[in-house]
């Protein structure tokens, strides 16, 4: 589903110096996998995630997503692919405070580039019920707990029926117990629905939920 072929991401510091946030990364993520990407702060995890999520382009190497070479696509094609392919979950939840829970979940469908073959509100309602948040649908994000906010963020990712969920430190703003609940939820999505999931974390306890763990150190994938 996803392949990185000797991919690097570098930044030019000055005339002579180039800094590699990621260097010669080769990685494959198969459909229905649940992988954890673990490494200390500054090791290149988010860089890797931004590349996989098509938020950024490699400086060198090839990224292949669903048999498409990303270097061959223009920006518009990349946006469309990102839109249909990946759902993001972030440490900070990134919910819009002025929108209700339901409106937050529906937001991606308003900006959707692809034609949806389902009714967004019906789908959101179904998701809210399934994840025990239906009673909170007309509530605002600041009136619900962190764990609930992160679940709303996960539903906002799921509403577009992505092929991949990319979660960058999804438990970083949660206490241990709530963090585990979020990881259990992701695990269930993977096991019951076959959702492909990649979680970025610096915590070994969180990484353990993945069926495969990828270690990143100083911009390199290490075994
Ligand atoms: N736009 C950028 N310009 C220069 N350096 C960057 C940029 N983005 C990230 N870096 C550097 O790349 C390294 C890896 O960053 P990042 O992928 O965010 O690490 P992690 O998510 O593992 O904490 C860090 O040293 C960071 O400072
Ligand atoms: Mg990071």
Residue 189 pLDDT? 96
Structure tokens at 103: 């409106």
Asked whether residue 69 is assigned to any structural domain, the reply reads no
The Cα–Cα gap between 163 and 147 comes to 23
Give me the sheet containing 2-12, strands edge to edge. Answer: 18-29, 2-12, 60-65, 68-69
Q: Which domain holds residue 167?
A: 34-56+75-222
- Answer whether 98's CB lies under 8 Å from 141's CB: no
Task: Please give the tally of structural domains in the chain.
Answer: 1
Residue 114 pLDDT? 73
Residue 185 pLDDT? 96
Q: For residue 179, give the nearest of 89, 101, 44 by alpha carbon.
A: 89
Can you tell me which atom of ligand 1 is nearest the CA of 219? 14
Residue 6 pLDDT? 97
The Cα–Cα gap between 204 and 213 comes to 10
Structure tokens at 99: 């929108």
Task: Please report, for the domain that includes residue 112, its CATH number.
Answer: 3.40.50.300
Can you tell me which atom of ligand 1 is nearest the CA of 200? 21
Asked whether residue 67 is assigned to any structural domain, the reply reads no
179 burial (CB, 10 Å; 0-12 / 13-18 / 19+) is buried
CA 45 – ligand 1 centroid, Å? 8
Residue 115 has pLDDT above 90, yes or no: no
Asked whether residue 46 is assigned to any structural domain, the reply reads yes
pLDDT digit string, tens, across residues 146-176: 999 999 999 999 999 999 999 999 999 999 9
User: Strand, coil or helix: what is 20?
Assistant: strand
What predicted TM-score, i.e. pTM, was given to this entire model?
Answer: 0.93
Asked whether residue 38 is assigned to any structural domain, the reply reads yes
* Run of H or E residues at 192: helix 176-193
By most ligand atoms within 8 Å of CB, the mutation choice from 36, 44, 58, 166 for ligand 1 is 44
The residue-averaged pLDDT of 205-211 equals 96
Asked whether residue 82 is assigned to any structural domain, the reply reads yes
Asked whether residue 142 is assigned to any structural domain, the reply reads yes
CA 21 – ligand 1 centroid, Å? 5
Asked whether residue 150 is assigned to any structural domain, the reply reads yes
For residue 113, name the pLDDT band (cuts at 50, 70, 90). confident
Asked whether residue 149 is assigned to any structural domain, the reply reads yes
Residue 223 has pLDDT above 80, yes or no: no
């Amino acid at each position: 589903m996803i392949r990185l072929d000797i991919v690097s991401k570098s930044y030019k510091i000055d005339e002579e110096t180039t800094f590699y946030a990621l260097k010669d990364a080769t990685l494959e993520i198969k459909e229905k996998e649940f992988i954890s990407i673990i490494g200390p702060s500054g090791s290149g995890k988010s860089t890797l995630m931004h590349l996989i999520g098509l938020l950024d382009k490699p400086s060198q190497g090839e990224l292949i997503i669903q048999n498409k070479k990303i270097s061959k696509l223009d920006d518009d094609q990349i946006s469309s692919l990102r839109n249909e392919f990946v759902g993001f979950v972030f440490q900070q939840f990134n919910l819009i405070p002025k929108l209700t829970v339901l409106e937050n979940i529906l937001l991606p469908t308003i900006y959707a580039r692809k034609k949806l073959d389902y009714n967004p509100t019906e789908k959101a309602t179904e998701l809210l019920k399934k994840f025990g948040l239906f009673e909170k649908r007309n509530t605002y994000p600041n009136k619900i707990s962190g764990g609930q906010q992160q679940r709303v963020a996960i539903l906002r990712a799921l509403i577009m029926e992505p092929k991949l969920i990319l979660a960058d430190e999804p438990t970083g703003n949660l206490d241990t117990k709530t963090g585990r609940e979020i990881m259990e939820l992701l695990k269930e999505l993977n096991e019951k629905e076959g959702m492909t999931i990649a979680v970025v974390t610096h915590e070994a306890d969180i990484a353990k939920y993945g069926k495969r763990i990828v270690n990143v150190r100083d911009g390199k994938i290490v075994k």
